[in-house]
Amino acid sequence: MSAGMTLILGGVRSGKSRLAERLAQDSGLPVTCIATATADDDEMRARIAAHRARRPATWSLVEEPFQLAATLHTHAAPDRCLLVDCLTLWLTNLLMSADERALERERAALLETLPHLPGRILLVGNETNMGITPLGALNRRYCDEAGRLHQSLASLCDRVILTVAGLPLVLKGERV
């Protein structure tokens, strides 16, 4: 296992991003935020702006919607904290890609790369699999892929946290 790798899961507006930002700040390390969102509409642009406004100006920002493993490999360092927000937007980007093999390729690259990265890594994702099975093949595939991704990442991470109503519940590893 890679020391300092944390997976933070939660629903929409659960407090997962704020928790990740606090943990990044508390690390005392220089922080690079790797953002996977794409600003396709006004609502998403507003969400992205709110995240940017909350973060310290000293943090670096890298926007990468597809090649997460390569981006992590490029920016990871023993004296740096990388904050990935968000895994499930990255997953969505890959599912919607015209390249049908992109998801399989990029997921495998991420799982292969993560255990070898130096420094502190914080991974944020939406937990979508706590309700009913959604209608529609794409929606079900998204939930299935998110569940598989989160399980694989949880096995690699030193700490896994579920965030509900702004409260962190540590599922694996040290308390917050």
Note down pLDDT in tens along the chain; length 176 residues.
Answer: 345 999 999 999 999 999 999 999 999 999 999 999 888 888 888 888 888 888 999 999 999 999 999 999 999 999 999 999 999 999 999 999 999 999 999 999 999 999 999 999 999 999 988 888 889 999 999 999 999 999 999 999 999 999 999 999 999 999 98
User: How many structural domains does the chain have?
Assistant: 1
Range of the domain at 50: 5-172
| Number of CB atoms found within 10 A of residue 34's CB | 23
Q: Which of 51, 73, 75, 116 is an active site residue?
A: 51
Distances (CA, A) of 171 to 16, 26, 33, 34: 14, 20, 24, 24
- What CA–CA distance (Å, rounded) separates 90 from 36? 5
HEC-encoded secondary structure of the chain: CCCCEEEEEECCCCCHHHHHHHHHHHCCCCEEEEECCCCCCHHHHHHHHHHHHHCCCCCEEEECCCCHHHHHHHHCCCCCEEEEECHHHHHHHHHCCCCCCHHHHHHHHHHHHHHHCCCEEEEEEECCCCCCCCCCHHHHHHHHHHHHHHHHHHHHCCEEEEEECCEEEEEECCCC
Residue-wise pLDDT tens digits, 132-172: 888 999 999 999 999 999 999 999 999 999 999 999 999 99
Q: Which of 146, 155, 158, 76 is nearest to 107 (CA)?
A: 146
Q: What is the CATH classification number for the domain harbouring 71?
A: 3.40.50.300
Cβ-proximal residues to 87 (8 Å cutoff; 6+ apart), any chain:
36, 123, 124, 125, 126, 146, 149, 150, 153
Cβ 124 vs Cβ 12: under 8 Å: no
pTM, two decimals, is: 0.94
Active site residue 51: yes
149: left (phi over 0), alpha (psi -120 to 50) or beta: alpha
